[in-house]
Amino acid sequence: MRATHATLASTGIGKRVRIASVTLDVDAAAWLGAVGLHDGEELVVLRRAAFGGPLHVRTASGGEFAVGREVAMAIGVDDVQNGSTS
């Protein structure tokens, strides 16, 4: 049975999450991984653009990215609470 995760697109501002899955085509997933957005990476959502625009996120290593809403919907995440997932 496959675990169900919340998506990055549904994550609130200021919430810290860990990437649990990426369900994109191979090329898109490879590009995300190359810029640091891969399974296990912790992120904080900094801002959410209006009208379905991109999410501005910061990685644990300090990189900041704008992630399109459609891509964010394909990134499964788990909450991070005091260094563990819940």
Domain limits, the chain: 6-85
60 phi and psi angles, rounded to 5 deg: -60, -30
Assess contact for 49 and 34: CB atoms under 8 A.
Answer: no
pLDDT computed for residue 6 by the predictor: 94
What is the reported pTM?
A: 0.85
How far the first Cα of the chain sits from its last, in Å, is 19
Alpha-carbon gap, residue 77 to 42, rounded angstroms: 9
Distance separating alpha carbons of residues 52 and 56, to the nearest angstrom: 12
pLDDT tier, 5 (very low <50, low <70, confident <90, very high otherwise): confident
Q: In the prediction, which pLDDT does 81 show?
A: 77
Question: 32-80 pLDDT, tens per residue?
Answer: 999 889 999 999 999 999 998 999 999 998 999 999 999 999 999 999 9
What CATH number is given for 6-85 in this structure?
2.30.30.90
